[in-house]
């Protein structure tokens, strides 16, 4: 009589380094975000994995050999794809990628990657939107008037009492850049506009931000996705309960856990579509 064999997911526990990012220090969090999502893209995209595998196979050959020449071209293509998704993608060309999670890397390697990401004007926090991206606002000309002025309107979900605080403009956006970079450029422009309003005495913020979505949140989303794809539902919760059986902060209940995984999948899918265009 044959006995039922446990599934692979039941046999192997997912390494917490793959999904638990709560201990990542603030100076490392952005680099960790880029590194972990780059790992995820590489594992999910046969094209990216093949390019990096070609590099690994040929990089040990002599620099004047055909193998090394082909490997170098493969690595150039790999970096082209990665920098399209992550403009400040650091130099990653060792055999620990993509299998080794950030938290298992040597401390010196992590320090080098963090330093490379943040050094000088190459980092997009310092370079946007000056020369990488153009975001400009324009005022509309009022109908039947020669003078330029602001066209104020009330889109949903704003109410009538918000008319005096609502302004409409238009933007010039270079769509060749990824959403993360566009978002950061807009955030920088928005900060400048807030300062201008403060100088005019308009400091009140009536509606406080409730949403999240920073680097640590996006890493938590990715962790939820990895856990969800590794374990069957019966190992996550006991039906009909929703409280997770595994300790996976910041998630404690299945609906929140699934919502985080959904956000990560959406983000990864958007990056994979970008890979297909590069």
Alpha-carbon span 68 to 123, nearest angstrom: 30
Alpha-carbon span 25 to 3, nearest angstrom: 46
Place of tokens 């780059």: 38
Alpha-carbon span 91 to 81, nearest angstrom: 13
Place of tokens 């910041």: 250
Taking Cα atoms as reference points, which of 26, 31, 45, 21 lies closest to residue 227?
Answer: 21
Q: Does the reported pTM lie above 0.85?
A: no
Q: What is the phi/psi pair of residue 252, to 5°?
A: -125, -20
253: β partners: 243
* Three-state DSSP state, 239: coil
Contact between 133 and 177 under an 8 Å Cβ cutoff? The reply is yes
Sketch the domain layout of the chain as residue ranges.
8-129+211-276, 137-170
pLDDT at residue number 278: 62
pLDDT at residue number 7: 53
> pLDDT digit of tens for each residue in the chain (278 aa)?
444 555 544 548 899 999 999 999 999 999 999 999 999 999 999 999 999 999 999 988 877 888 899 999 999 999 999 998 888 899 999 999 999 999 999 999 999 999 998 874 445 433 333 333 444 443 333 344 434 334 333 334 444 455 556 666 666 777 888 877 778 888 888 888 888 877 777 777 665 544 456 899 999 999 999 999 999 999 999 888 999 998 888 999 999 999 999 999 999 999 998 887 66
* Three-state DSSP state, 50: helix
């Amino acid at each position: 009589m044959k006995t039922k064999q446990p599934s692979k997911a039941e046999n192997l526990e997912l390494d917490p380094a793959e999904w638990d990012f709560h201990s990542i220090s603030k100076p490392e969090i952005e680099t960790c975000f880029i590194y972990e999502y780059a790992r995820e893209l590489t594992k999910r995209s046969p094209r990216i994995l093949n390019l990096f595998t070609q590099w690994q196979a040929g990089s040990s050959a002599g620099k004047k050999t055909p193998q090394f020449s082909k490997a170098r071209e493969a690595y150039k293509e790999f970096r082209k794809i990665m920098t399209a998704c992550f403009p400040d993608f650091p130099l990653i060309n060792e055999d620990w990628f993509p299998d080794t999670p950030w938290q298992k890397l040597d401390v010196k390697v992590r320090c080098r990657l963090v330093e490379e990401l943040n050094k000088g004007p190459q980092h997009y926090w310092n370079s946007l939107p000056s020369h990488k991206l153009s975001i400009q606002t324009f005022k509309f000309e009022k109908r039947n008037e020669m003078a330029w002025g602001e066209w104020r309107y009330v889109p949903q979900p704003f109410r009538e009492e918000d008319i005096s605080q609502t302004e409409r403009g238009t933007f010039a956006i270079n769509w060749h850049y990824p959403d993360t970079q566009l978002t950061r450029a807009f955030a920088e422009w928005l900060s400048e506009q807030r300062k201008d309003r403060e100088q005019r005495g308009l400091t009140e913020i009536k509606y406080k931000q409730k949403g999240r979505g920073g680097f640590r949140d996006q890493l938590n989303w990715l962790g939820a996705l990895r856990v969800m794809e590794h374990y069957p539902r019966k190992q996550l919760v006991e039906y009909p309960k929703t409280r997770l059986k595994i300790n996976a902060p910041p998630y404690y209940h299945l609906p929140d856990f699934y919502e985080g995984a959904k956000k990560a999948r959406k983000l990864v899918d958007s990056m994979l579509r970008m890979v297909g265009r590069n």
